Chain A
Amino acid sequence: MWGLRSSRTVILGLATVVFVFACFLPLLYMIALSLEPGSVARTYRVLLLDARQRDLLYNSAALGGGAALLSTVLGVPLGVGLAWLAIPCKRLFRLALVAPLLLPPYVVGLAWIYLGSSTGIVATVAGRDFLSEWTYSLSAAIAVLGLVYYPLSMLATEVAVRRVDARLEEAALLVAPPGRVFAKITLPLAAPAIGAAALVIFVLAVSDFGVPGLLRVRVFTTEVFTAFSALYDFGRATALTVPLMVLATIVAVVATALVGDRLVAGRRALGGSRPLGFDRWRITISLFGAVVLIAALAMPLAVLVREALGAESIATVVRGSWSAIQASIMLAAIGATLVVAIAVWLGYARARAGLVVGRLADVLFVVLFAVPSTVVGVGLIGLWNRAGPFGQLYATDAMLLLAYLARFVPVAALVLAASVRQVPVSHEEAAAVAGAGWLRTVFRIVMPQAKLGILAAWIVAFILSFGELGASVLVAPPGESTLPIRIYTLIANTPSSHVAALALLQAAVIFGPLAVLGLATRSREVG
């Protein structure tokens, strides 16, 4: 059944080959290029000798560190609250708190520009402009990314706190007040997961292109983009990717070591009631959550609405960008489908792998997901822009699909691995004993049980693809444009009301699938 010609071997082998081609080769190409004799010296020079590069390194590290810190400060109390407290309308509250993560960071960055600009709400209400200078600064970029990524810290904290055996807290509550129990028992036990989330946020912030690009903060990703698209300096762009890739690898290894198998464990949180004694925090945390929601979601959306209302006609704006909107939705849908079609097999293989292979796969997935979008874009161009069969795809929409595959297959594989792990191996063994082949077992036994995970992976892939900017802006064929590319290119020379209207439209398309996922999980729980 498991021989070389078995359906299992063929399908998992094919998925692996596609994964290597789509996700690994662009990165490998960049690494190989940076290791060529001429490039090594250049890489070294870029990394160590230039004061400009040291500034770049400082800015990137400060952006990542600051965003990780802010996200953790915001996310941990909210995660604890969601895990422990009987907050009214908790499902809705959690969904709303997660929503900022689904907005492309540059959309939130755009809102903050409109908020803090010389004609923005703050200047209008205060009667003077004291924010516009700050808006284009490193600390503003940290604030925006912190507000976008805090849900990651919140969700990691909630899961980690739920997994702490309630009896450990009860044993401590017998002798210590709730605050001390939290500090000495709960927090240390949840700390690895919280730390891993902070590391992931660090990498995401360091590899983000949209926000530092908009707020004019010089970091590695913007420098890669400039080196390639403005200066056409492929070698410099390649050299600049090295520190980011090294960073991504270190963080992936540390994160995997910290959370271990739990990265894909997907274990159900402990049910039942939480220990008494923490209820007094309910009002404080609810209020804190409301403030965070206003800052991270309500205010950016309100600012965009206010700005969009200045447009002569929303319909005109939409009509003007209709082809980009259509292309974006269609490409994101096709991209998400392809991503899931490959990731489902990789996720299955990861879920059923042994300890060592599984951990290595986790590291690889996290590293690949953390590769900055502009690096992926440059790698794809270097790989596919050549004569012969490879070149046939270049300058077509297929490049955008390849970019989506390269960026999002790894994260979809992690989501799906978590989902498949919830299906006991014994279910497959029972099917095998009953005479079912592997393929039949996967389609009839495994996938039906993992269908919510598959839906979630598709929606995650759709949302990420729909908002993808850094790689798309580099690989999109001439004359073709997706909505993020159009927004990014319109910012410089179009009224802000038009840009805001398009950004709102983008948010609306993203929140649609989220509502579907919310309804799907609800119906499953009710059923």
Chain B
Amino acid sequence: MTRPLLQFEGVTKRYGRRPALHAISLSVEPNEAVVILGPSGCGKTTLLRLAAGLEVPDDGTIALDGEHVAEPGRNLVPPHRRRIGLVFQDLALWPHLTAREQLDFVMGSVAVPRSARTERARQVLTLVRIEQLTDRYPHQLSGGEQQRLALARALVGQPRLLLLDEPFSSLDPELRSALRGELLRLQQSLALTTIYVTHDQEDASTLATRLVSMREGQIESVTSPAPIPRTASRAGERLS
């Protein structure tokens, strides 16, 4: 049996007196695509933020690849040492940096050798199909291009776990469907482990290998949707 990549054990998180998560226990295995589904305010985003280290649990523990990264009241491993990528709901693209500079910031932070950065950036931008937009600032990109850049930024540091917080929620149905397909392609080709938060059933059925339903800060059910063929990684699309 493989060791879980991410493990929540009895995690509770409160904001003031209001509980956002209550005694959550959840394991995510390597190469899994977990989709967390639930209505607004059910604690989906809080769960992602806890995994990323942007929040501290009030109770319970969180482990990454067998290492305890958080315990009640404190983070044992800060966010930047967890090797996690996160695509925010509003994307959080840095407005003063071009597409290439956004990737450079990440690569500089995770100590990618300077000589390898140009090639790595080209690969990732090609992967998300915005290789011609390297010198554009976020406000010069369309909505779909911004989503792709946010995805590229999350991938360029080669995270062991990719978290996506309703990244397509603000898009029109056509673009949303196209990007969903893109994400599925990346999941499969890069053998990514992902947790995808959404309240959209179609997202869930397309992207999930395991579906977690949440309500009022608790896990309601864990199911496996109809299997989607997941091809082996293609070497040509791996990041070098």
Contacts and interface: CB of A to CB of B under 8 A. Distances in A.
Contact of B80 (A167, A177, A188, A189): A177
B84 interface: yes
Given A174-B85, A175-B106, A175-B109, A277 B78 contact: yes
Contact of A189 (B79, B95, B110): B95
B54 A189 contact: no
Interface in B73-97: 75, 78-80, 82, 84-86, 88, 90, 92, 94-96
Interface string A238-278: 00000000000000000000000000000000000001110
Given A175-B80, A177-B78, A168 B52 contact: no
Nearest to B153: A171
Contacts of A180: 109
B55 interface: yes
A172 to B, nearest CB: 7
Given A176-B80, A276-B55, A277-B79, A171 B95 contact: no
Nearest to B15: A273
A276 B75 contact: yes
A170 interface: yes
A165 interface: yes
Contacts of A167: 88, 90, 92
B94 A172 contact: yes
B96 A171 contact: no
Given A172-B94, A174-B80, A276 B56 contact: yes
Contact of B79 (A168, A174, A184, A188): A174
A65 B70 CA distance: 47
Interface in A63-85: none
Interface string A149-177: 00000000000000001011011111111
A75 to B, nearest CB: 22
A176 B110 CA distance: 7
A339 B94 CA distance: 42
A172 B105 contact: yes
A455 B85 CA distance: 48
A175 B54 contact: no
B154 to A, nearest CB: 8
B157 interface: yes
A173 B110 CA distance: 11
A185 interface: yes
Interface in B86-132: 86, 88, 90, 92, 94-96, 105-106, 108-110
Contacts of B55: 276
Contacts of B110: 175
B57 interface: no
Contacts of B75: 276
Interface string B119-163: 000000000000000000000000000000000010001000000
B96 A174 contact: no
Interface in A409-430: none
Nearest to A180: B109
A165 B55 CA distance: 16
A171 B109 contact: no
Interface string B49-64: 0001111100000000
B94 A176 contact: no
Interface in A273-300: 275-277
21 contacts: A167-B88, A168-B92, A168-B94, A170-B79, A171-B153, A173-B54, A173-B79, A174-B52, A174-B54, A174-B79, A174-B80, A174-B86, A175-B109, A175-B110, A175-B157, A176-B80, A176-B105, A185-B105, A276-B54, A276-B75, A276-B78
Interface of A: 165, 167-168, 170-177, 180, 184-185, 188-189, 275-277
- What 4 pairs across the A-B complex have the smallest Cβ distances? A176-B109, A167-B92, A171-B92, A175-B109
Given A174-B52, A175-B106, A176-B106, 5 more contacts: A173-B54, A174-B54, A176-B105, A177-B78, A189-B96
